[in-house]
Amino acid sequence: MFSVYGSGHVGFFGGTVRQTNVPEILQIDCNATDFYKKNAAYPTCLFFNPYDVEKTVETDLGAKNTDVYDAVSRTFLGRNVSGRFRFSLPADAARVLVLIPAGKQYTIENGTLKAGGTVVDYRYMAKTR
């Protein structure tokens, strides 16, 4: 049972939130609390910049090569990258980064962007309208 006066819900934050190189900009794991997920999903992280200026944020992608897709701007910020990855985060804005294993084949089906058959962006074609 969750209560606004209790502290039982605080444990969720330990598995969903990580610090970045910029104070007050957090990396939030969007998949960690998706209890109703029906389909497979690639790692997805939310970043929000509360500052009045653009910031450069760094995140660790690990050793495997990755394509980094921003679901907010509907663009790839990096392809076939690994390790420490730096990206710009505009002032008072958010990015939702989807981390796709490099080498996946991309397809567009009914306005949905898929990588290796897994949905990356349900509204991909909205970018061109």
Q: What is the pLDDT along the chain (129 residues), one digit of tens a residue?
A: 556 666 666 666 666 888 899 999 999 999 887 778 788 899 999 999 999 999 999 999 999 999 999 999 999 999 999 999 999 999 999 999 999 999 999 999 999 999 999 999 998 876 554
| Architecture per CATH, 8-102 | Sandwich (2.60)
**What residues have CB less than 8 Å from 51, skipping those under 6 apart?**
24, 25, 91, 92
Q: For the chain, which residues make up each domain, given as ranges?
A: 8-102
